[in-house]
Amino acid sequence: MAPPQIEGATFVGDRVCYDCHTNISRVFPASPHARLRLDHSQMAGQQGCESCHGPASKHVAVGGGRGRFIVNPGHDPEACFSCHLEIQAAFHLPQHHPVLEGKMNCVQCHDPHGMDIMKPAGGLAMSRLNQNCAACHRNQTRRFIFEHEAMREGCTVCHDPHGSINAKMLVQRDSNLCLKCHAQIQGPGAGGIGHLYIGKIDHTDLVRYGTCWSAGCHTAIHGSNVHPRMLY
Amino acid sequence: MSRLIPNRLQWTFWLGLLPGCLSVSLFAAEVDSSKLPPAAQVKIDFTRDIKPILENSCLRCHGPEKPKSRFRLDSREAALKGGENGVDILPDNSAKSPLILYVARLVPDMEMPPPDKGKPLTQEQISLLRTWIDQGLAWETAAPVSALAFSVSPTLRWTTVSGNEQKFREHYWQREGWNGGLERFDSDEQLSSDSHLHAAGHFLLDDYRLQLALEKNEVGFVHTGWEQYRKYYSDTGGYYPAFAPPASRLGRDLHVDTGRAWIDFGLTLPDWPRMVLGYEYQYRNGEESTLQWGDVVQNGIDRKIAPASQQINEHAHIIKFDLEHAIAGVRIEDSFRGEYYNLNTSRTNSFFLPAIGSTMADSANENYKHFQGANTFRLEKQFSDWLFTSGGYLYSKLSADTTFNVDTLNISGPFPLSEYHAHSQQITLSRESHVLNLNALLGPWEGLNLSGGVLSEWTRQRGFGNVDLDEISPGPPFSPIVVSLLSDLDKASVEESAALRYTRIPFTTLFAEVRLRQESIGQFEEEIGSFEEFLRKTDFSSQLYDLRAGFSTSPWQWVSLSAHYRRSDDSSNYHHTLDEAPIGIPGSGYSAFILGRDLASDEVETKIVLRPLRWLKTTLSYKLLSTDYRTDTEPVGGDISPGGQILAGKYDSHIYSLNTTITPYQRLYLATTFSYQDSTTITANNGSTAIVPYRGDVYSALVSGTYVLSQVSDLFLAYSFSYADFSQGNFGSATAGGLPVGIRYQPHGIQAGLTRRIGKNLITRLQYNYFYYDEPTSGTINNYTAHALFATLTYTFH
């Protein structure tokens, strides 16, 4: 890691941070980011809080305070990008959550200090599946009479939450997205090579029209209140 | 001021102070002040003599934020006021001032700084503090900071786009033409020593934010605000190279405005629970693109590529109440959310029905609303230096109802031969969940930390309703049959996690983590009365494990290295105890075709940071991800499928990233990030010419540099580029090939700017942006070139 720089400030060590930021500091050893914390590091700034927040001597000297001589990655993703290089690149892809545009920030979805990186401001607690996405995407994560069982495996089975080259931030943009799970296996009665059965229904010609969700068939892909096969 | 206080209250006020004064006198009398170093015989200069002592040894704990014992040393007024132990400084009497006795370490258990919080003050420093007090506690002689600080950045922008302006808007979250307003404003007014008013935000075209905060220490706060931004959508659909034209546009300005307004009232009285009562209104309104594309038919070939959209109108009203308190070392949190949510969507999609040679139009309207109440109660306690625990309980209850109408109409061709109407009566959903979470953090022991948790959830969901369905009647009149829907779901799941960190190896941390989940769902689904009626009862169970192990190390000043391996496996089993479609005929439903699923993933990630020179830092990372998707299927009669397990899909990806930061001399800062990813998704397609493997590469490069031209001028230059190639060639005749939805594109972006400071308060910035986007896999319909000019002025006052 390479900590952000604060002009004129030096590293004080995260014992000092503990005094004021007790609730955050005491759960940090349980955080996934504690994987990177070194008790004794040769490279400067590898010892915890200051790896991401920058050297804190000036912040301490003025008695603390929000944003006073300290980096707040919650407002500016640059500190996160210094390690998560592929995520920075993903946010520059055509379809992305508007983090670079300043309309979202990393800590809306992630807790950098807590036990579960997927539970915002969660402390020593665990997140529930899809809880992050549901905070904004109520339409897609709401309850249905007929649910799509893929939702049990999480939104990220189909969507890349940071950025994607595909509309709706899908991980694939063709029917392979669905066929990964909705497998085909055929016997002699299925018409031979080139015929595509999905379950018990011949889709050979249907899949020529487009993708499973864009060809006008399975339009209610997150779930349906009227149709068990999610046609509406 | 005393005139304003009634006599009886004055007595109460002075009596209240008495214990504090008495405690100072009695306490001072018990301490032998003769052991104090003498006061220094100098004229004190606060900035030279005292401020460094306070900054280095006191303000860490006794600053304005969360001061220990509520004693602050950041202003003369606060220092004289004292803290919860009474008055700490007696002006002109340093020998009796508790502060001096504490820093001289003459009071047991009150040594300042405490043994683990800093080095004891030297005799010389204590002498200076004594003199400072004896000379009247002089404070900062510099000019007082203004009570008001603000900055404002008006901006004027002009953007021109040639080509697909809708695509440009979607990519860059802005529209072409003139734009202007306030890029940012920030104002902070110190109303008194312990209260302030803060306002901040921005006002640009279709992008607004205003937030206000009025805060008074140890009393409370009011936070309020409103924000709204616009998300734009491309209006193009799919692309089929054999058609003329191969793609089309809706020709409508598709966008959705997303916003929220909020107000929170907080109470932060000393020794009281911290309480926040708030209300938030969230909304989304507009027309968004959808991927439910309509038909285009040419030369007997039908492909769904016509662009589509839907109207969306979404509102959520949320009542919030949060409480936080500590009793006997136990931190208590309670959080309630009550949410009323209302959603209306409306869309019309056309499609061609080859069987009857007619173009049909689907018109679908849905209204959904729910009320959900959820309360989370949580306790935390630090039992000892090595044991910290927390536990929480969440209860939530949801009650929803929805109506859905879909009408499929024949809008071309001969007399309507087939239409479909589904008009739901009220459909009702209810859901109730209990979630229990227990966690613990243990250690460190000899460099070992252990953390773990258990999360249990019980959920019950009921859904039922009736739909008036007319599947076959050609045109009016609407001749419905009533279809009954029923769906029940009972879910129980347990998730466990544990993590181990070991830090005793020099310059190294080792870690190992495991996450397990067991889930069972009893599900019942029924549709009675339709031509596709069915009955299904499924016992679902799944087991997940997710393991990770790795290390971080920094053995030399110029290098740090981390790596991990991760393995996860999510195995699901569907035991269909009932599978009837139509009801009474077992084993013919689709859903029951899948008997089990297994997702197995392997991940390897490594990262190395090199800093061979003070001005050069390089980070290299590599990530491998491989997932196998296996599905168990049941046999299908008529020799269609023998059933069994199949490798349904396989995903492989490699990501290489490189970041370099160069500061060869003070005037120049250069940063580059490069990322390359190749990925392949293959599914078992049995030779279908419509489905081909989804594979390709994505390159991304980001370069930025700042050059300091002079003490008042900076030059900024940035370049971004990416290239992706997932193009597909799977198109052909009506009965061969499919729709090539793969993509190949390359965007370029250049930003060049000049910043100039004028005087102490003014900064000007002039910026030029260039954007270019080329997407051959959509012909030229999505291409654009854009130029933008930004002029921004920032005025700062404080």
Per-residue confidence band for A74, with pLDDT thresholds at 50, 70 and 90: confident
Maximum Cα–Cα distance for chain B, whole Å?
Answer: 112
pLDDT at B587: 67
Mean predicted confidence (pLDDT) in A3-18: 84
Q: Per-residue pLDDT tens for B277-301?
A: 999 999 999 999 999 898 888 888 8
Please give, rounded to a whole number of angstroms, the shortest distance from the CA of B783 to a CA of chain A. Answer: 13
Q: Per-residue pLDDT tens for A167-224?
A: 999 999 999 999 999 988 888 888 888 888 887 888 888 899 999 999 888 989 999 9
In chain A, whose CA is at the least distance from the CA of B496?
A: A126
- Measured CA angle at A154 (ends A152, A155), to 5 deg: 130
The beta strands (E) that lie in B164-253 are given as: 177-192, 195-204, 207-216, 220-233
Please give, rounded to a whole number of angstroms, the shortest distance from the CA of B9 to a CA of chain A. Answer: 35
Chain A positions in Cβ-Cβ contact with residue B607 (cut-off 8 Å): 83
Do A167 and B724 lie within an 8 Å CB cutoff? no
Token pair belonging to A134? 């549901």
Chain A positions in Cβ-Cβ contact with residue B573 (cut-off 8 Å): none
**More reliable by pLDDT, B727 or B40:** B727
> How far apart, in Å, do the first and last CA atoms of chain A sit?
49
Q: Residue B193: is its pLDDT beyond 70?
A: yes
pLDDT at B141: 58
Token pair belonging to B571? 């195995």
Chain A positions in Cβ-Cβ contact with residue B419 (cut-off 8 Å): none
Picking from B65, B439, B728, the nearest residue to A64 by CB comes out as B65
pLDDT at A1: 56
Contact B104, B37 (CB under 8 A): yes
Per-residue confidence band for B350, with pLDDT thresholds at 50, 70 and 90: confident
Least confident of A138-147, B395-404, B583-592, B757-766: B583-592
Q: How far apart are CA B578 and CA B539, in angstroms?
A: 10
Q: What is the mean pLDDT of chain B?
A: 89
Q: How many domains does chain B have?
A: 1
Mean predicted confidence (pLDDT) in B174-198: 93
**More reliable by pLDDT, B472 or B714:** B714
A:55-114 residues touching chain B, CB 8 A cutoff: 60-65, 81-83, 85-86, 88-89, 92-94, 98, 101, 103
Q: Residue B347: is its pLDDT beyond 80?
A: yes
In chain B, whose CA is at the least distance from the CA of A139?
A: B343
Query: A186-195 as b/e, with b when 16 or more CB fall inside 10 Å?
Result: beeebeeeeb
DSSP for B484-513 reads EEEEEEEEEEEEEEEEEEE--STTEEEEEE
Please give, rounded to a whole number of angstroms, the shortest distance from the CA of B160 to a CA of chain A. Answer: 19
Token pair belonging to B50? 């005292």
Mean predicted confidence (pLDDT) in B774-794: 96
Query: Residue B26: helix, strand or coil by DSSP?
Result: helix
pLDDT at B330: 96
Do B741 and A65 lie within an 8 Å CB cutoff? no
Among B538, B498, B503, B501, smallest CA distance to B520 is for B538
Per-residue confidence band for B197, with pLDDT thresholds at 50, 70 and 90: very high
Chain B positions in Cβ-Cβ contact with residue A166 (cut-off 8 Å): 743
Token pair belonging to B72? 């602050």
Q: Per-residue pLDDT tens for B434-468?
A: 999 999 999 899 999 999 999 999 999 999 998 88
Picking from B380, B552, B591, the nearest residue to A35 by CB comes out as B552
Mean predicted confidence (pLDDT) in B312-316: 97
Q: Residue A152: is its pLDDT beyond 80?
A: yes
Give the side-chain half-sphere CA count within 13 A for B333.
Answer: 17
Picking from B63, B593, B734, the nearest residue to A63 by CB comes out as B63
Cβ neighbours of residue B646 closer than 8 Å, sequence gap 6 or more: A183, A184, A185, B630, B631, B633, B684
Maximum Cα–Cα distance for chain A, whole Å?
Answer: 79
pLDDT at B3: 37
Chain A positions in Cβ-Cβ contact with residue B747 (cut-off 8 Å): 94
Per-residue confidence band for B648, with pLDDT thresholds at 50, 70 and 90: very high
Least confident of B29-33, B151-155, B608-612, B617-621: B29-33
Q: Strand pairing partners for B335? A: B322, B376
DSSP for B458-469 reads EEEEEEEEEEEE
Indicate whether B518 belongs to any domain.
no
Mean predicted confidence (pLDDT) in B367-376: 97
Q: Residue B26: is its pLDDT beyond 50?
A: no
Q: Per-residue pLDDT tens for B120-154?
A: 899 999 999 999 998 888 887 555 556 889 999 99
Indicate whether B221 belongs to any domain.
no
Indicate whether B555 belongs to any domain.
no
In chain B, whose CA is at the least distance from the CA of A94?
A: B171
pLDDT at B589: 64
ipTM entry = 0.94
Do A36 and B552 lie within an 8 Å CB cutoff? yes
Whether A18 and chain B come into contact, CB under 8 Å, resolves to no
Contact B414, B361 (CB under 8 A): no
Q: Which backbone phi and psi does B607 adopt, to 5 degrees?
A: -145, 135
Query: Residue B109: helix, strand or coil by DSSP?
Result: coil
pLDDT at B414: 54
Contact B247, B239 (CB under 8 A): yes
- DSSP letter assigned to residue B37: P
pLDDT at B574: 93
Indicate whether B233 belongs to any domain.
no
Q: Residue B564: is its pLDDT beyond 90?
A: yes
Mean predicted confidence (pLDDT) in B393-413: 87
Please give, rounded to a whole number of angstroms, the shortest distance from the CA of B791 to a CA of chain A. Answer: 18
Do A62 and B63 lie within an 8 Å CB cutoff? yes
CB pairs under 8 A between A and B: 434
Do B380 and A124 lie within an 8 Å CB cutoff? yes
Q: Residue B17: is its pLDDT beyond 60?
A: no
Indicate whether B96 belongs to any domain.
yes
Chain B positions in Cβ-Cβ contact with residue A25 (cut-off 8 Å): none
Q: How far apart are CA A121 and CA B537, in angstroms?
A: 39
Q: How far apart are CA B213 and CA B188, in angstroms?
A: 9
High-pLDDT (> 90) share of chain B, %? 62
Q: What is the mean pLDDT of chain A?
A: 88
Query: Residue B338: helix, strand or coil by DSSP?
Result: strand
Do A29 and B682 lie within an 8 Å CB cutoff? no
Q: Residue B729: is its pLDDT beyond 80?
A: yes
pLDDT at B630: 95
Domain extent at residue B129? 2-134
pTM: predicted TM-score of the whole model, two decimal places: 0.89
